[in-house]
Amino acid sequence: MNAVSCKELQIRIGSKIIFDRLDFSIKEGQFVGVFGPNGAGKTTFFKCLFGNIPYSHGKLEVLGQSPIKIRGKIGYVPQQRDIFPLNLTGRAFIATAIRGNRLGIPFLFREDQKEIDRVLALVDAKDLAQQPLTELSGGQRQRLLLAQALLGKPNILILDEPLNNIDPKWTQHILNLIKHIQSQQKLTVFLSTHDLNPLVNIIDQVLCLGNKTAILGKAKEVITSEILTDLYQTPMQVIKAENRIFVTSFT
Amino acid sequence: MFALEFMKIAFVASGVVSIIVGLIGYFLLIRREAFAGHALSHIGFAGATGASLIGLPPFLGLIIFNVMAGIWMGQIGAKLKDRDIAIGLILSASLGLGLLFLHFYTHYATQISSLLFGNVFGVTYSTLYWLIFLTCCCCLAMGFLMRPLLFVSLQPDLAQAQGISVRLVSTIFLMIVALVTAACVQITGILLVFSLMVGPAAVALRISKTIWAGIGLSILLALSESWGGLWLSWLMDWPVSFWISLLSIGIYGLTLVFGKHLRSLRIQDCYHT
């Protein structure tokens, strides 16, 4: 089954067209790197996938259904926010998302505790469970956010620029972790980034967004000077060497 | 001390209000909406003086103005920077309006003084029943709203991705805050609501490591400060609101100094949430 399928898809915000005539399909179990300039609409595209932004024309199916119907099957790590001035422990923070979409008092049952243990083990963060958020590094916080997104065993995991402000060592650690979880849980992963280099050997496909369009394919096929120049609307040069891709701008 | 009827009523009224104020204050701080809570009490001032001017109970005017302001604040949206400017402007406009009503309303200066600085010893049985009813309603509403509110407050984008209307939850919460603020005015007065609503919650947030420990501590501190204020007022014959505000800043100051030692006590609870 396709994880995501777009046909003649148009997405608008107000009168502004963000994407026009998107036509592509992504099979389940793929690791997709989402790449594109600032303001290209990466977050908008993600929000459309879980039905927060309605599309204006065409057809969009996620896991074979309308986006609104599969909300519980998508795990989401939003762009890094200033959400950690609290003294809460990692475990308490993760717990706030359990059945968060239902009314009631946030008591936890034994199965909820087990679910928290499961996601903490998945992201190798059992040692962070009792530590206050204020004492954690950016990479450690990112692991907790990832754990929270994995609650309820989603089929699709969307990570919106999770590598921002994280040093190269932690970047590689987090990417390896995501790849491991993706293979183990057979997840479809969308990870947006401005730097494709750390992802080149991990991702199955690249989805390049920009200039109201999207191009999907293998990294080596899609990341070319011609395609990026077209997407960025500015002269770009791509240099490929030893499994690395360097993207530079002439301006 | 408890032989006097007004003292008994004062203890029950401040105890009842402290429970809901401690709970609401904790969520206000988690959501970084302390200024909204502060502004709501001041906005109510125009409602209370306006109601007095046309011969209605000030408490009624306070509630109506507060709830309307709460709904409006919830609808402004999440951009905190723009929100604070808009709330600040409405706050000033409301105080200006309150001043205008006072200009025309020349009687009962003591009633206005009670509104501004509180008069818990003047709480009547009928006001006490209203406070109990209001507190019960707000506790019930929080019982329903607490889980999505917590989720929306800490992870708004993730909550939105799961189909929760962040704006709706925020609006309902601010309506509850509006009602609680109106109740708190009866104890501390409009100008000192902040000390009882935010002080205990700020201490709880600094020390506690779980949600339930934070809520419990916030309520406990609110109760201690309001009852402590009453007791000190009885001893010294100084205003209750003064003592509450002094206890509030005193305990907060102690937390700033000894915060690390208190945190190491690992104040947690059996639910680990």
Q: Which of A80, A235, A243 is closest to A160 using CA atoms?
A: A80
Strand partners of residue A237: A248
Nearest-neighbour CA in chain B from A176: distance (Å): 23
Q: What is the pLDDT of residues B35-62, one digit of tens each?
A: 888 888 888 888 888 888 888 888 888 8
Q: Are strands A74-77 and A156-159 parallel, antiparallel or unpaired?
A: parallel
**Pairwise CA distance, residues A234 & A238, whole Å:** 13
A197 to each of A4, A138, A193, how far by Cα in Å?
Answer: 25, 20, 10
Long-range contacts of residues A142-146, Cβ cutoff 8 Å, at least 24 apart? A142/A77, A142/A80, A142/A166, A142/A170, A142/A174, A143/A174, A143/A177, A144/A90, A144/A93, A144/A94, A145/A77, A146/A77, A146/A174, A146/A177, A146/A178, A146/A181
pTM of the model: 0.87
* Residue bearing tokens 């999440």: B78
Q: Which of B46, B179, B58 is closest to B114 using CA atoms?
A: B58
**Pairwise CA distance, residues A219 & A31, whole Å:** 12
Nearest-neighbour CA in chain B from A229: distance (Å): 32
**Pairwise CA distance, residues A59 & A66, whole Å:** 9
Q: Which of B14, B21, B37 is closest to B175 using CA atoms?
A: B37
Phi-psi region at B135: left, alpha or beta (left = phi > 0; alpha = psi -120 to 50): alpha
Cβ–Cβ of B154/A108 closer than 8 Å? Answer: no
Q: Which of B81, B66, B78, B36 is closest to B165 using CA atoms?
A: B78
**Is B255 within the bounds of a domain?**
no
**Pairwise CA distance, residues A238 & A32, whole Å:** 20
> Tens place of pLDDT for every residue, chain B, 273 residues?
778 888 999 999 999 999 999 999 999 999 888 888 888 888 888 888 888 888 888 888 889 998 998 888 888 766 555 677 888 888 888 889 988 888 887 766 677 777 777 788 888 898 899 999 999 999 999 999 999 999 999 888 888 888 888 889 999 999 999 999 988 888 878 777 888 999 999 999 988 989 999 999 999 999 999 999 999 999 998 988 899 999 999 999 999 888 766 666 555 444 444
**Is B223 within the bounds of a domain?**
no
Q: Residue B150: which CATH number?
A: 1.10.3470.10
In the sheet that holds A74-77, the strands lie side by side as A74-77, A156-159, A188-193, A31-35, A205-210, A213-217
B199 to each of A112, B38, B203, B253, how far by Cα in Å?
Answer: 32, 12, 7, 10
Closest Cα in chain B to A89 = B209
**Is B254 within the bounds of a domain?**
no
Domains of chain A plus CATH, in order, are: 2-219 (3.40.50.300)
**Is B49 within the bounds of a domain?**
yes
In this prediction, residue B270 carries a pLDDT of 44
Cβ–Cβ of A104/B146 closer than 8 Å? Answer: yes
- Is residue B71 within 8 angstroms of chain A, CB to CB? no
**Is B20 within the bounds of a domain?**
yes
Q: Chain A residues with CB inside 8 Å of B147's CB?
A: 99-100, 102-106
Among A107-116, A199-208, B113-122, B248-257, which is the least confidently predicted range? B113-122
**Is B206 within the bounds of a domain?**
no
Domain of residue B150: give its range. 5-191
**Is B245 within the bounds of a domain?**
no
Cβ–Cβ of B159/A95 closer than 8 Å? Answer: no
- Is residue B202 within 8 angstroms of chain A, CB to CB? no
Q: What angle do CA A71, A33, A225 make, to 5 degrees?
A: 140
Nearest to A78 among B158, B164, B208 (CB): B158
**Is B127 within the bounds of a domain?**
yes
User: Any idea what DSSP says for residue B192?
Assistant: G
A175 to each of A160, A178, A184, A197, how far by Cα in Å?
Answer: 13, 5, 14, 12
In chain B, the number of structural domains is 1
Closest Cα in chain B to A72 = B162
The two tokens of residue B90 are 């409405």
Q: Are the CB atoms for A209 and A41 separated by under 8 Å?
A: yes
ipTM, two decimals, is 0.85
**Pairwise CA distance, residues B215 & B25, whole Å:** 9
